[in-house]
Amino acid sequence: MKRKLLGVIDATTYHEDLEDLLTHRSLAALPFAGRYRIIDFVLSNMVNSGIRSVAIFPKMQYRSLMDHLGSGKNWDLNRKRDGLFFFPSPIVDNDGNKIGSFEHFAANMDFFKRSTQEYAIISNCYTVFNMDFRPILDWHRHSSCDITEIHHENGSSMEMYLIKTSLLIKLLETRNETGYTCMRDVVQDFDHQYTVCHYDYNGYAVMIDSIENYFSTSMNLLKTDVWKQLFLKDSPIFTKVKDEPPTKYVKGSFVKNAMIANGCVISGTVENSIISRGVKIGKGAVIKNSIIMQKCQIEDNCYLDSVILDKDVKIEAGTHLTGSARSPFVVRKGMKQGALMNS
């Protein structure tokens, strides 16, 4: 298996509905569940499936992504042979919502030609799921498929494709003659000469493509049944390890049904919320149904309900911010929000 399947992650996608959270980062690097990034899920799935060579194709705003992944050590991908590879796009104006741009891949043709893996799994970077790709490869081979497109149980495409590496190279080399620009073009062309199969996945999977969707998916993690479908003991989700002290709960603080990462100082109330590393919540502050990202500071006597605070946000004392499940109140990275600003 180690030499049979090549991992390819398209990290170029940009969803306008997530604009407030993508100003300083790519979608792949979007924080999730307090201590993860969105890309951690597909990357961990690949590693857990025995894949030892993974290529990531980002486009813009990928500094935070590269900082997060580094050499791939936390995913056991810092290897002398194979390992983790980055291939930033030389094309600025390509369509960011087509998974697996053939132009982007073709600009790095040597990588695919040097790969020793017989098959490649091409995936988007923004699906929250826990999947073993090995049964899909077995099914693909026994079904004599040329291309397998993975579908969710509701029938929608998960924008993940399994294909022989040699066929992928052929598609890249003939893209100008065929007019195919990505994998979607191939599978949706009724006149192609390939056997295209659909593999139905019935596990938990959500594609993050809007603020509302990101918020609801995050809040659902607070439900035990959802958490157990996503974070499996035998198939862990890996992420960048940071050495930080345990969270400190000051006398008088109150926490109920919340996920709180390391390095926080909690002096107020937190309910039904996700709190990332290094967050400080002041005395008398109340945080409900919210997502608070890394190193935010919420001063005394604030009230936040259905709010998303991006990293390094400061909320001044006495500030009240309220959103809703369908329209959470979003504060962009590094901003300061005060009571007078909301009056």
Instruction: Please state the domain extents for the chain.
Output: 5-230, 248-342
* Measured distance CA(122)–CA(249) in Å, rounded: 44
pLDDT, average across residues 83-99: 76
Contact 320, 337 (CB under 8 A): no
Q: In the prediction, which pLDDT does 340 show?
A: 59
Tokens 């935070």 label which residue?
Answer: 64
Quickly state the pLDDT bin for 341 (edges 50, 70, 90): low
CB 37 within 8 A of CB 153: no
Of all residues in the chain, what percent carry a pLDDT higher than 70?
A: 96
Q: Are 128 and 217 in contact (CB under 8 A)?
A: yes
User: What Å distances lie between residue 89 and 44, 59, 77, CA to CA?
Assistant: 23, 5, 22
Total residue count of the chain as it appears in this document? 343
Q: Rounded to whole angstroms, how far apart are CA atoms 73 and 148?
A: 30
Check pLDDT > 50 for residue 343. no
Distance CA 123, CA 119 (A): 13
Helix (H) or strand (E) holding 226: helix 224-230
User: What is the reported pLDDT for 80?
Assistant: 85
3-class secondary structure, 149: strand
CB of 37 closer than 8 Å to CB of 29: yes
Q: What is the pLDDT of residues 99-136, one digit of tens each?
A: 889 999 999 999 999 999 999 999 999 999 999 999 99
Residue partners of 102: CB distance under 8 A and separation at least 6: 171, 172, 175, 180, 181, 182
For 135-179, write each residue's pLDDT tens digit.
Answer: 999 999 999 999 999 999 888 999 999 999 999 999 999 999 999
Mean of pLDDT over the chain: 94
pLDDT at 2: 45
Q: Residue 342: pLDDT above 60?
A: no
153: closest CA among 216, 204, 219? 204
- CATH number, domain 248-342, options 3.40.470.10, 2.160.10.10, 1.10.10.10, 2.30.42.10: 2.160.10.10
Tell me the pTM: 0.95
Q: Which two tokens stand for residue 256?
A: 């109920």
Query: CA dihedral in degrees (98, 99, 101, 106; nearest 10)?
Result: -170
The structure tokens 């609801």 sit at 216
pLDDT at 91: 67
Mean pLDDT of 54-76: 94
- 42 CB-side CA count, 13 A: 26
Q: Which distant-in-sequence residues (6+ apart) come within 8 Å of 144 by Cβ? A: 195
Q: How confident is the model over 213-230, as a mean pLDDT?
A: 97
Q: Are 271 and 289 in contact (CB under 8 A)?
A: yes
- Is 62:26 a contact under the CB 8 Å cutoff? yes
Residues 287 and 304: beta-carbon distance below 8 Å: yes
- 5-230 belongs to which homologous superfamily? Spore Coat Polysaccharide Biosynthesis Protein SpsA; Chain A (3.90.550.10)
